[in-house]
Amino acid sequence: MTSAYQNMTDAALDAALADLERQADDLRALNLKLDMARGKPSPEQTALSKPMLDLVTSETDLTDGGSSVDNYGDPDGLPSARALAAELLGVDPANVSVIGSSSLNLMYDCVENGYVHGIAGCKPWCQQGTVKFLCPAPGYDRHFTVTESFGIENVPVPMREDGPDMDVVRELVEKDPQVKGIWCVPRYANPTGITYSDDVVRAFAALKPAAPDFRIFWDNAYAVHTFAGEGEPLLNIFDALAEAGADNLVYEFASTAKVTFPSSGMAWVTASPSDMAELRRAFSAMRVSPEKVSQLAHVKFLKDAAGVAEHMRRHAAVVAPRFALVEEKLSAGLGELGVATWTHPKGGYFVSFEGPEGSAKAIVALAKELGVTLTGAGAPWPYGRDPRDTNIRIAPTYPSLEELGQALDVFVVAVKLVSARLAKAERA
Amino acid sequence: MTSAYQNMTDAALDAALADLERQADDLRALNLKLDMARGKPSPEQTALSKPMLDLVTSETDLTDGGSSVDNYGDPDGLPSARALAAELLGVDPANVSVIGSSSLNLMYDCVENGYVHGIAGCKPWCQQGTVKFLCPAPGYDRHFTVTESFGIENVPVPMREDGPDMDVVRELVEKDPQVKGIWCVPRYANPTGITYSDDVVRAFAALKPAAPDFRIFWDNAYAVHTFAGEGEPLLNIFDALAEAGADNLVYEFASTAKVTFPSSGMAWVTASPSDMAELRRAFSAMRVSPEKVSQLAHVKFLKDAAGVAEHMRRHAAVVAPRFALVEEKLSAGLGELGVATWTHPKGGYFVSFEGPEGSAKAIVALAKELGVTLTGAGAPWPYGRDPRDTNIRIAPTYPSLEELGQALDVFVVAVKLVSARLAKAERA
């Protein structure tokens, strides 16, 4: 694709550049301080869960089934919390451990288990030379940071509109025994917002890994985070495994980080019975009991999957207009110019933006100059290396609609100016 | 020391044995089901913290200094929570991270950091061959489980009435670069209940480890858990380090596990500025934010060190009578027999009991038969190996006073019967 700027005469391009520089100067003079960097719920959203804080009081019965909420015990979480967590993922509560408030922490612990203790009787990864994780990219930077922190080699895999490129995944997983895992966000992926198709989910379930200690890290972070109606369906990976006659292949994670309070929710992991037995052994050395008071409050507030869906409709009422504004501003500002594409998610927290080759770092830097913080260019790639320097993650949830509109206006100018400068540089 | 049973004539010993067997049979017939196994607060104690559950409601301002309680951020915890945690240990809040509800989890993470990432620029322990941790014994079984889970060699060190035998510690730490850490509970130690003397604390601060990546794991679990008055003073280890001109030697841990709710408290770690910088780097890959709603509730409830002391006096009113009953029942039942000694703690959660050589496993098994669960014999030793099989940990806090009295009566009979059997066996 060639852009409007590339197609201009030299004089027209110079005029466009001069105009854009003036617009940038005007914006710079406003001393804006806006943030579209992180996937944080807005204050309007967290306020939706404040009623939860009234549900556990000094008068509350602090038992749950046979469990004491206020004392040690229940390393897998309260029975009611496990039931809710299981229902949300369509799995058996017996295979669920609800622990802590951070699913990222559980993912870290599962990587740690492979690295330090070893999976399924295999040697620990720390004794297997260089081991690798596949990182569909663009993806979630904190996933990649976990494996990078262990010195595991992060290998990028192309993302398509229906999930990771499964031909590439299959080739790597089935031929290379050093490949020990893959990071996946199967619904409303971070940052592209796409949902894996049934074919992709079935292709995952059908993998025949070269390494018996290979596991799919299935981070269903946005399992219930849809903007309208039922949202895009995701095939249950454990159903797909059963169909394929496979087992011991998937760790699935989820949390209420963006359902209730990001720092104070509940997080859980589920896997096959034998994988869970192994994880529980590892977890038993790590901690005594999970945060059961918080779990009780969550269960009283959210109740069940229907209660969660109702609550998420309230979130959607706040979030959907922000995503609509992204679509509107980008279409209006950039739609005719042929400089960029972006995704159109139906749920989740992000829009993934693709600018001209070699533009992303410059756009992020220019936006910063003009008062708008974006996620660092390259962050959604292993080691921060976007090979074409095109991808920018837009996180529209936290700012108010007004601030978001301003931030997007700045972003559009930054994209145009950088694109025009690139077109000019091509002619030099 | 020779016991009353050893000093008896054969006939008197046979008569005593017959009488004790009858007492055991009578107890067995009661089908008791009592538990003195784990250091759990009683329901009366956890009830003391229920008013905390009324302090954060939907009406509460969810900010804390400049921080949002209800969103991401503050990886080191809320400012107010850090201030409280720091005051309780007499350290600078800047050097404190309040994370999660389990200090054991933080200790695990610190061991993991040494094992996976390496401390102070040294190679990770997983690349240094067999590394070792010193385990003053009897000690806390879950400490030893953490290092054992990494394949670290747990080396027992004798415990004395004023702390670990520092001649042994010094010899091992200063000569063997494979020694990377030592587990300490410096106040009201688990299970002996003793508090380290100033000399012992100063000896720790004066250690010159052979390994630059050696750290003291200073688990101040019972920092505020005293039965009466101010309790036994513990010299601040960081003050002792400053006196000694030392640095980067200690990780100190504490939590509110036995102040508020065991599963849902707040836990923290403090260390030197450069150690904390290193730990924070490691922690930053592990999780995003700590449980700030719970932290806010804790700060509102406990307020400051004076508030904690007041709250702990309420705990003491519940706990102290239980420890008095242990003293009373053991003195009355065993005081004249010369078969056993036990500790007389002024705080904490445990009494450490020493029976005749080769008796502990048999006593625990017999008590179990008679309906009383005790901590497994040997548990307070690395790998569960009590070299003389004499030590039993008594955890008197959880049962009601009435149940505790019954359990101690059973325990006394079990000790006497096993001691008499041993005396008989010596004559065979």
Tell me the pLDDT tens digit for each residue of B324-336. 999 999 999 999 9
Q: Which of B260, B287, B302 is the last residue of a domain?
A: B302
B287 and B323 housed in the same domain: no
Residue B34 phi, psi dihedral angles, 5° rounding: -120, 155
Q: Is residue A50 included in any domain, yes or no?
A: no
Interface membership of B219 toward A (CB under 8 Å): no
Q: In the prediction, which pLDDT does A357 show?
A: 96
Let me know whether B235 and B268 are in one domain: yes
Asked whether the beta carbons of residue B149 and residue A282 sit closer than 8 angstroms, the reply is yes
A128 touches chain B (CB under 8 A): no
Same domain, B25 and B72: no
Q: How confident is the model at residue A1 (pLDDT cuts 50, 70, 90)?
A: low
Q: Report the pLDDT averaged over residues B349-374.
A: 97
| Position B31 pLDDT exceeds 70 | yes
Looking at the structure, do residues A297 and A313 belong to the same domain, yes or no? no
Q: Does A31 touch chain B (CB under 8 A)?
A: no
Write out pLDDT tens, residues B379-390: 999 999 999 999
Task: Verify that A195 and A290 share a domain, yes or no.
Answer: yes
Any A CB within 8 A of B261 CB: yes
Q: What are the tens digits of pLDDT across the range A375-427?
A: 999 999 999 999 999 999 999 999 999 999 999 999 999 999 999 999 999 99
Compare all CA atoms of chain B with the CA of A68 and give the residue at the minimum distance: B43
- Residue A281 distance to chain B (closest CA, Å): 10
Contact A290 B261 (CB under 8 A): no
* Domain assignment of residue A275, yes or no: yes
pLDDT at B1: 66
Asked if residue B51 belongs to a domain, the reply is: no
Q: What count of Cα atoms within 13 Å lies in the side-chain half-sphere of residue B250?
A: 28
Mark whether B298 and B314 lie in a shared domain.
no
What's the CA angle centered on B14, arms B8 and B16, to 5 degrees? 75
Q: Is the pLDDT of residue A121 over 80?
A: yes
Over the stretch A11-61, which tens digit does the pLDDT of each residue have?
Answer: 999 999 999 999 999 999 999 999 998 889 999 999 999 999 999 999 999
* C-alpha distances in Å from residue B62, one per residue of A39, A264, A294, B69, B76: 20, 12, 16, 5, 17
A240 shares its domain with A117: yes
Residue range A238-252: mean pLDDT, rounded: 97
Chain A: residue whose CA lies nearest to B73 = A263
Which pLDDT score is estimated for A106?
98
Residue B50, domain member (yes or no)? no
B53 assigned to some structural domain: no
- Chain A 40-69, CB below 8 Å of chain B: which residues? 40-41, 43, 46, 49-54, 56-58, 60, 62, 68-69
Are A139 and A271 within one domain? Answer: yes
Total structural domains in chain B?
2
Mean pLDDT, rounded, for B74-96: 98
Which of A270, A302, A334 finishes a domain?
A: A302
CA distance A105 to chain B (A): 5
Q: What is the pLDDT of residue A248?
A: 97
Chain A contact probe: residue of B49, B78, B263 with most A CBs at under 10 A: B263
Residues B252, B202 within the same domain: yes
pLDDT band with cut points at 50, 70 and 90 for residue A260: very high
| A267, A302, A337 - which closes a domain | A302
pLDDT, position A86: 98
Separation of alpha carbons A128 and A111, rounded Å = 14
Cβ distance of B293 and A145 shorter than 8 Å: no
Give the model's pLDDT for residue B288: 87
Q: Is the dihedral of CA B379, B381, B383, B384 positive or negative?
A: negative
Pair B275, B360 in one domain: no
- Smallest CA–CA distance from A41 into chain B, residue: B71
* A320: in domain: yes
B249 and B373 together in one domain: no
Interchain proximity A69–B263, CB inside 8 Å: yes
What is the 3-class SS of chain B, one letter each residue?
CCCHHHHCCHHHHHHHHHHHHHHHHHHHHCCCCEEECCCCCCHHHHHCCHHHHHCCCCCCCCEECCEECCCCCCCCCCHHHHHHHHHHHCCCHHHEEECCCCHHHHHHHHHHHHHHHCCCCCCCHHHCCCCEEEEEECCCHHHHHHHHHCCCEEEEEEEECCEECHHHHHHHHHHCCCEEEEEECCCCCCCCCCCCCHHHHHHHHCCCCCCCCCEEEEECCCCCCECCCCCCCCCCHHHHHHHHCCCCCEEEEEECCCCCCCCCCCEEEECCHHHHHHHHHHHHHHCCCCCHHHHHHHHHHHCCHHHHHHHHHHHHHHHHHHHHHHHHHHHHHHCCCCCCEECCCCECCCEEEECCCCCHHHHHHHHHHCCEEECCCCCCCHHHCCCCCCEEEECCCCCCHHHHHHHHHHHHHHHHHHHHHHHHHHHC
For residue A122, what is the DSSP state? P
Q: Is the CB of residue A130 less than 8 Å away from at least one CB of chain B?
A: no
Asked if the model's pLDDT at residue A3 lies above 70, the reply is yes
**pLDDT, mean of residues A145-162:** 97
Q: What range does the domain containing A206 cover?
A: 62-302
Question: Which stretch of DSSP H or E encloses residue A139?
Answer: none
* pLDDT 10s digits, B198-251: 999 999 999 999 999 999 999 999 999 999 988 999 999 999 999 999 999 999
Residue B52 lies in a domain: no
pLDDT confidence bin for B2, thresholds 50/70/90: confident
Same domain flag for A76 and A185: yes
CATH code where residue A9 lies:
3.90.1150.10
Q: What is the CATH number of the domain that holds A184?
A: 3.40.640.10
Best residue in A40, A54, A64, A71 for a mutation probing chain B (most B CBs within 10 Å): A71
Q: Does residue A56 lie in a domain region?
A: no
Over residues B131-184, the pLDDT tens digits come to 999 999 999 999 999 999 999 999 999 999 999 999 999 999 999 999 999 999
pLDDT score at A229: 87
Judging contacts by C-beta atoms under 8 Å, the chain B residues touching residue A56 are 53
A263·B46 Cβ contact <8 A: no
